[in-house]
Amino acid sequence: MVATVRLDDNLENTLNRVSKILHKKKSDVIRDAIAFYAQNIEENKKSRILSAVKKTKNIDKKEFKDFKDISDDGL
């Protein structure tokens, strides 16, 4: 697939500089950047899901403890 990207001067200079530093073609730098960005999105998504699961578990533990305390009252 061929894609055309418009870059402002600042981003173009950054791309040129990174390309020279890494001794890679600009297209390779762009591909690597997209792959890196996509990986970070997935990791962030997993992290948010795990955080939500942990929060839900903590709420469930509290609810269970409150229920257990009530049931232990002999009612």
Which domain, by its residues, includes 63? Answer: 26-75
Q: How far apart are CA 23 and CA 20, in angstroms?
A: 5
Residue 15 falls within a domain, yes or no? no
pTM higher than the cut 0.75: no
Report the SS3 class of residue 1. coil
Q: How far apart are CA 74 and CA 71, in angstroms?
A: 6
pLDDT digits (tens, 9 = 90+) for 25-51: 999 999 999 999 999 998 888 888 888
Residue 71 falls within a domain, yes or no? yes
Q: How many domains does the chain have?
A: 1
Residue 10 falls within a domain, yes or no? no
| Two tokens, residue 3 | 């894609």
Residue 53 falls within a domain, yes or no? yes
Higher pLDDT, 5 or 70: 5
Q: Is 60 exceeded by the pLDDT of residue 20?
A: yes
